[in-house]
Amino acid sequence: MGFVVRRSTRRRTIGAGLAAVALAAGAVSCSKGESGESPKMTPAAAVAKAAKNSDDITSLRYRMTGEIPEQGRIKGEAAMRLKPEVAMSMKMTAPDRADGSMEIRFVDKAMYLGGNAEMAKEMDGKSWMKFDLSVLGDEALGGSPGAGQAEQNPAAESTFLTGADDVKKVGTEEVDGVETTHYRGTLTLDALRDSFKDEDKATREKREKSVERYEAMGIDKLTMDMWIDGDDHTKQFRMKGDADKGPLDMTITFLDLNQPVTVEAPPAKDTVDLAEMMQEPGES
């Protein structure tokens, strides 16, 4: 292979993409309806019902905006398929970074990062970097937390607010033209773990992976907001926490759900395989 990629550049690029993908996994569901609350339903019950409704989601499209520890501000829009197998396509920008424009695709258990001019310069003009999540671990990827989270069902994090014991109604608000009821609560990661201890094994494992990702950031407490529509689905979701290396503050707005999502791998001729690249002599 006729090029050498600096390790620092590679880690910085991968870290930005993985952080976005990992936090994008907060996706739940969206639906259009009238104001989202039953007069007889408590805030905790309303949140639990919306979380339960996320079980039926097979695909979704969403917008994300906010701030990630170390990476700064990010904005993105994505489409994700959850069944029969996970696939995702996201376009993301990080305004605080010189190399902050990127496209991310996840298909056939491989992640592709592209659309970044600085990265292409490091790879002799090839515009995509590939790494196989089943082969490359977090250490090989520069220690970026949550590398495997791209395969996680994004509906898992919709259940987090059900673990809070202080859920309250904030008010009614319109989100993207949809009338919603806004709820808020706080919870520690210990309380979050306790909230899913009685779930089935598969559910516990999925939620435990999410908890571990936040632990890796140095977060031990989350403030969470949910905007629930008249069909008892989450229209918008916000997660905030103080991490070791800066604040986490992400908002996910859901655009549609259960619509066809197709994701294709980039052309092989435009792609560099990270596993092969890491074996090249002269890298430092």
Is residue 82 assigned to a domain? yes
Is 284 part of any domain? no
Amino acid at position 275, single letter: A
Percent of the chain with pLDDT over 70: 72
272 falls within a domain: no
The total of structural domains in the chain comes to 1
| Sheet-wide strand order for 101-107 | 168-175, 178-188, 221-229, 234-243, 246-257, 59-68, 72-81, 87-93, 101-107, 110-114, 128-132, 271-273
Residue 204 lies in a domain: yes
Tell whether 268 is covered by a domain.
no
Please report whether residue 219 resides in a domain: yes
| pLDDT bracket for residue 281 (50, 70, 90) | low
Separation CA 57–CA 51 (nearest Å): 11
Q: Using one digit for the tens of pLDDT, what is the confidence trace for 178-192?
A: 999 999 999 999 998
Q: How far apart are CA 76 and CA 24, in angstroms?
A: 9
User: Is residue 167 a part of any domain in this protein?
Assistant: yes
The pLDDT tens digits of the residues spanning 75-118 come to 989 999 988 888 999 898 888 876 678 888 999 888 898 866 67
pLDDT at 3: 37
Three-state SS across 49-109?
HHHHHHHHCCEEEEEEEEEECCCEEEEEEEEEECCCCCEEEEEEECCCCCCCEEEEEEECC
273 falls within a domain: no
Higher pLDDT: 49 or 154? It is: 49
Range of the domain at 213: 7-263
Nearest to 256 by CA among 38, 7, 77: 77
**What is the C-alpha to C-alpha distance for residues 57 and 55, in angstroms, rounded to an integer?**
6
Give the DSSP letter of residue 10: H
Return the top range by mean pLDDT from 29-33, 46-50, 159-163.
Answer: 46-50
Model confidence band, residue 280 (pLDDT cutoffs 50, 70, 90): low
Predicted confidence (pLDDT) per residue in 238-279, tens digit: 999 998 888 999 998 999 888 999 999 999 888 888 777 666
Tell me, what CATH number does 28's domain have? 2.50.20.20
Beta strand 59-68 pairing with 72-81: antiparallel
